[in-house]
Amino acid sequence: MAILKIARMGHPVLATVAEAVSDPTAPEVRRLVADMLETMIDANGAGLAAPQVHVPWRVVVFQAPAGREEGLSEEERFDHTAPLTVLINPEIEVIGEAREAGWEGCLSLPGLQGLVERPSHIRYRGVDHEGHRIERVAKGFHARVVQHECDHLDGVLYPERMGDLKKLIFETEARHWLPDKE
């Protein structure tokens, strides 16, 4: 395993449409996934897409831990959380019309955060590196992180999803000017 170098905004790999993985269980995919997990955890990120480590394949890893949502029933919370997940060749289907704005950061835009509106309820499908099918419904932060990571596979960074670029700010400023946010 190895900690990989993360591409930053401006590197062409981040603007490229990644290729589908023909054999998700191939040894080179397993190796990539292991390195991506180690890199994501080392960088304290919620998710990472293969193009961010300079590999143009349709592979993402992410997690949506509990604790970001309050006042929900146990059943509702289920869709809001995800364990550490490997998703290869993902597909996203939007459920309903509801959209939600939330602050996002990205390891490829270090130090920045932006307010991004996205569909708040989705279903996603894919396969993991052991060949298991994955199909889940996601809401809230879980839906957001999956959409953010899958955007990387189409060469899209979160500022391209923003309606108001005045809401693209440095984290160090957010601490002073957004007191309601941690």
Smallest distance, Ni ion to C-beta of residue 158, A: 7
Of the pair 51, 77, the CB lying nearest Ni ion is at 51
For 96, counting Cβ atoms within 10 Å of its Cβ (0-12 exposed, 13-18 middle, 19+ buried), the class is exposed
Nearer to Ni ion, 36 or 77 (CB): 36
Q: Does 149 qualify as catalytic in the annotation?
A: yes
**Both structure tokens of 104:** 């996002």
- Which DSSP string corresponds to 92-109? EEE-SS-EEEEEE--TTS
Residues 68-97 contacting Ni ion, CB under 5 A: none
59 near Ni ion, judged by CB under 5 A = no
Give backbone dihedrals phi and psi of 77, rounded to 5 degrees, phi first.
Answer: -60, -30
Q: Which is nearer to Ni ion, 88 or 106 (CB)?
A: 106
Q: Is 112 in the site for Ni ion (CB under 5 A)?
A: no
Report how far apart, in Å, the C-alpha atoms of 19 and of each of 13, 42, 98, 157 are.
12, 26, 30, 17
Residue 116 sits in the site that holds Ni ion (CB under 5 A)? no
Catalytic residue among 28, 130, 149, 160: 149
- Quick one: which of 6, 32, 86, 106 contacts Ni ion (CB under 5 A)? 106
Nearest CB to Ni ion, comparing residues 77 and 153: 153
Of the candidates 118, 117, 121, 116, the one whose C-alpha atom is nearest the C-alpha of residue 138 is 121
**Span of 18-26, 32-40, 98-106, 131-139 interacting with Ni ion by CB under 5 A:** 98-106
**Residue 47 has which token pair?**
């998710």
Q: Which residues bind Ni ion (CB under 5 A)?
A: 106
Residues annotated as part of the active site: 149
